[in-house]
Homo-oligomer: A and B are copies of this chain.
């Protein structure tokens, strides 16, 4: 019955495709934090039943990029400042361990691949494709995790990176001075990795993540609803007009 045709392979697991689609939509910042993810709407968009959508939403929820509020629905996660600090601290700890592993296990072909990835990052920055760069930057860190060989850590970092993307959207400070040089930091890290300098590469990664956190505005003012802050002056104007 030819049930193992190419079509069958592609057709099974519609969830995975939809999951990937939504995950990258969030990572590429086409879905903003707080956006309501209506089940019915997603059903029509992807032409599947709610069962599938619900499965995908729960998976995203477990990975902390979507928050499911009981009886209220699913929303793109809105990390709190505390959560943001936790995620960045976790990344410093985890990625230090990953760097130590990668220094030992990195092959020349790995270094080559990492360099080409950084080159792509540079192009994305040149062309002003910010969201693409965010995605590529995440891939760089995940590639290091893969090279280190620890699958458990790699999967956890994948979660942390996606959460970092959301954090970036929500708490980027106005200046944006950091991002253009972040690619350079990647270059330095690989240079240290290439010559097998464990301590330097770890230190550079730590500094890199610190720089990312420093580029954020994690003052608790932005914590709860932005609305109060956004409309603070508007209401004042309205008061003056009346």
Contacts and interface: CB of A to CB of B under 8 A. Distances in A.
Nearest to A155: B64
Given A58-B59, A90-B153, 19 more contacts: A12-B70, A13-B70, A58-B58, A62-B62, A82-B151, A83-B151, A87-B152, A89-B150, A89-B152, A89-B153, A90-B150, A90-B152, A93-B94, A93-B96, A93-B97, A94-B94, A94-B97, A152-B160, A152-B163
A140 interface: no
A156 B83 CA distance: 14
A164 to B, nearest CB: 11
A178 interface: no
A100 to B, nearest CB: 8
Task: Kindly name the residue among A97, A150, A152 whose own CB sees the greatest number of chain B CB atoms within 10 A.
Answer: A152
Contacts of A153: 86, 89-90, 93
A160 B155 CA distance: 12
Contacts of A92: 97
A55 interface: yes
10 contacts: A13-B70, A62-B62, A83-B152, A90-B97, A90-B150, A90-B153, A93-B96, A94-B94, A94-B97, A152-B160
Contact of A86 (B12, B151, B163): B151
Contacts of A70: 12-13
Interface string A61-73: 0100000001000
Contacts of A59: 58, 62
